[in-house]
Homo-oligomer: A and B are copies of this chain.
Amino acid sequence: MRVLGVDPGLTRCGVGVVEGVAGRPLTMLGVGVVRTPADAEIAHRLVGIERGIEEWLDAHHPDMVAVERVFSQHNVRTVMGTAQASAVAMLCASRRGIPVTLHTPSEVKAAVTGSGRADKDQVGAMVTRLLRLDAPPKPADAADALALAICHIWRAPAQNRLQRAVAAHHARKGPTA
């Protein structure tokens, strides 16, 4: 399974591609950041994000895209931009027919470090170890994107089983169940 992880943001949108299956060593195929200028108009920035994500999809043809689930937290201004960048990433994947899954930051941290409250250094260190890299990817957004992809590969089997179970339940009960 090849997964593109996206840590959404307008100024720095982290992207990372990881290949592998749960229980086997994972391979990093690429990591980077899609940037747009902070002083550009929001509409132009979204076009820049779209172009960047499209390039990553063209280059790597992922089977799945994992995007960080955005919550409304402290900084309202940042959260809006993050929600909008995540919308563009989801749109780019979904219109190609690539399944999109959202993972919360604590799910991602728990998946790669064992703790949902791990800090950025811990996440970076575990990403480095799990992908057998020489150093933690910089900036942190790039490391977070790889952590999202790893999280998705490890969580996906359970999620897929759940989705199949729900689908089977609906099939038995009919579409209105």
Task: Show the binding face of A for B, using Cβ within 8 Å.
Answer: 41-44, 46-47, 50, 70-72, 76, 79-80, 83-88, 90-91, 93-95, 100, 102
Contacts and interface: CB of A to CB of B under 8 A. Distances in A.
Contacts of A76: 71-72
| Complex copy number for this chain | 2
Contact of A41 (B41, B50, B87, B100): B100
Contacts of A85: 87
A165 B43 CA distance: 22
A43 B95 CA distance: 8
Given A41-B100, A43-B91, A46-B94, 11 more contacts: A41-B94, A42-B102, A43-B93, A46-B90, A50-B95, A71-B76, A72-B72, A83-B83, A83-B84, A84-B87, A87-B88
Contacts of A100: 41-43
15 contacts: A42-B100, A43-B90, A43-B93, A43-B100, A46-B91, A50-B91, A70-B80, A71-B76, A83-B83, A83-B87, A84-B87, A85-B87, A87-B87, A87-B88, A91-B91
B94 A43 contact: yes
